[in-house]
DNA sequence: GCTGCCCTCAGCCTTTTGGCTGATATGGCC
DNA sequence: GGCCATATCAGCCAAAAGGCTGAGGGCAGC
């Protein structure tokens, strides 16, 4: 006892079981609860007050991981949240860090990496997987390539296959404005067609 | 002993641990080995001759799950392969079944579902998650919506954002032929722009 | 108060795309 | 042999998208 109390949040039971099994090998860590949704996570944080929350970002319908992180941070009860997810999309990383995540691990991380991140989190140190760190670094070096909120909104709709006219209707702006936004988006993503933009958005920005 | 011997194949250690922990609760099942790649899986099938192989489809670089299934089946040593993956894309399901998979489970499946699938597999029964089954059924009802090999090839390149001209060059066909294929693809996917086709391809057909 | 960024819009012109119709060749299947 | 699916190509036309220039309003920061 007296170890680091951990709450696991993932909608896949196998992943929770796997994490639980891994953490069981560490004498200083105790998994005190598991949640399969953002809503459930919030409740369990309240009732168990764990030191660290290990959370997936993608969790089916309902509250997503980002929102869950935000709300947990808003409780003001001092939990450190570690993101543990499959994808390292630029957008997800930025949003997670913005929401107050203390670390960002990929699911193919080595056990030691996971342990180190959890221990670091309780000490206020931020730990992230190398690929994640390099992406963050990349973003900081080229702030010109970061999409504005409006652009991100448009890109998100773009990935649904809408035409400029439809995009305009959806966003209550003229087709001319849509084209302006698109031109900016193309420049930032380094493409020159909407098709390539969609491909890049889904693959690199993680807009599924 | 004397239980069902199982080989786990997944590039994520947590998932393997989770499955191992789950299967450990079943007296009639023994995880005899774990692999983190298709190549490794093939080796371990040879050396351990498990009764069932539980395999993820997405596994980083190298041999993918589909190819691994095909090669395991080609060994002729009688292994039943169960797909255990996150996504239920039409293309993946069809290809997995074509390659000789005995079942197709999603990672959010309940433990009982997993156990039943493994027991079913050794008895020659095919078990799949309800969403997967319904997709297969859907495909069988509307064979008109199945893409031809050439169309699938083109669609795959399309998701990389290529123009018609580039597609033609890549496939050594004229732009006119590209347009013909695209028209057929649009019809089968139920869309009318390349943007929507890309969106659908990535989301429904799982062309990541 | 000026500067810079974001969001908005317009016009013009070229390229690309999509819809349509029709045609040829190939290979498998009955 | 005839049928059918697949793959290949052409031409024509309308619609959509993309590149370019220019411009106005709002708002934060210095």
Is A71 exposed, middle or buried (CB count within 10 Å of its CB: 0-12, 13-18, 19+)? middle
Q: Which of A65, A89, A208, A132 is nearest to B208 (CA)?
A: A208
Mean pLDDT (whole number) for A139-168: 84
Q: Residue A116: is its pLDDT beyond 90? A: yes
Q: E-assigned strands of chain B?
A: 4-9, 29-35, 52-55, 80-85, 103-106, 127-128
Q: How confident is the model at residue B29 (pLDDT cuts 50, 70, 90)?
A: very high
pLDDT, tens digit, for every residue of A55-79? 999 887 878 888 899 889 888 888 9
Q: Is A173 on the interface with B (CB under 8 A)?
A: no
Q: How far is the CA of A164 from the C1' of D7 (A)?
A: 33
Q: Which nucleotides of D are covered by protein (CB under 7 A)?
A: 5-11, 16-23
Q: Determine, for residues B161 and A15 on separate chains, whether the beta-carbon distance falls below 8 Å.
A: no
Three-class DSSP category at B35: strand
pLDDT of residue A164: 92
Average pLDDT, chain B: 88
B12 pLDDT higher than 70: yes
Provide the pLDDT for residue B1. 57
- Please report which confidence band the pLDDT of residue A140 belongs to, taking 50, 70 and 90 as the band edges: low
Here the tokens at position B2 are: 């004397």
- How many helices (H) and strands (E) in chain A? 10, 6
**Which nucleotide lies closest to B166 by the C1' atom and the CA atom?**
C16
Band (B208; pLDDT cuts 50, 70, 90): low
pLDDT band for A11, please (50, 70, 90 cuts): very high
Over residues B177-201, the mean pLDDT reads 91
Predicted local confidence at residue B62, as pLDDT: 79
Asked whether the predicted pLDDT for residue A152 surpasses 70, the reply is yes
Query: Against a cut of 0.85, is the pTM above it?
Result: no
Rg (CA), chain A: 19
Per-residue model confidence as pLDDT tens digits over A37-46: 999 999 999 9
Tell whether A80 is within 8 A of chain B (Cβ): no
- Mutation target to probe the A interface, by most A beta carbons within 10 A, among B8, B16, B18 is B18
Asked whether residue A87, judged by its CB, lies under 7 Å from any atom of the DNA or RNA strand D, the reply is no
Chain-centroid distance of CA A52 in Å reads 16
The Cβ of residue B25 has, within 10 Å, a number of other Cβ atoms equal to 10
Q: Predicted confidence band at A207 (pLDDT cuts at 50, 70, 90)?
A: low
B26: which 2 tokens?
């079943």
CB contact under 8 A, A160 and B20: no
Mean pLDDT, chain A, whole residue set: 88
Please give the pLDDT value at position A141: 65
Distance CA A193, CA A197 (A): 6
């Amino acid at each position: 006892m007296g170890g680091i109390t951990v709450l696991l949040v993932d909608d896949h039971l196998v992943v929770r079981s796997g994490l639980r099994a891994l953490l069981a090998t560490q004498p200083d860590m105790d998994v005190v609860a598991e949640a399969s949704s953002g809503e459930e996570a919030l409740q369990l944080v309240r009732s168990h007050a764990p030191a660290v929350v290990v959370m997936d970002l993608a969790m089916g319908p309902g509250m997503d991981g980002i929102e869950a992180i935000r709300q947990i941070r808003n409780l003001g009860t001092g939990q450190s949240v570690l993101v543990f997810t499959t994808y390292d999309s630029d957008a997800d990383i930025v949003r997670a860090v913005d929401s107050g995540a203390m670390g960002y691990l990929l699911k193919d991380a080595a056990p030691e990496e996971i342990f180190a991140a959890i221990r670091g989190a309780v000490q206020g140190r931020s730990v992230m997987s190398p690929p994640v760190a390099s992406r963050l670094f990349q973003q900081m070096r080229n702030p010109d390539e970061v999409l504005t909120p409006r652009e991100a909104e448009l890109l998100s709709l773009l990935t649904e296959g809408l035409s400029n006219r439809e995009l305009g209707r959806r966003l209550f702006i003229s087709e001319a404005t849509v084209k302006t936004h698109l031109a900016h988006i193309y420049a930032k993503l380094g493409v020159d067609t909407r098709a390539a933009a969609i491909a890049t958005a889904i693959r690199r920005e993680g807009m599924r």
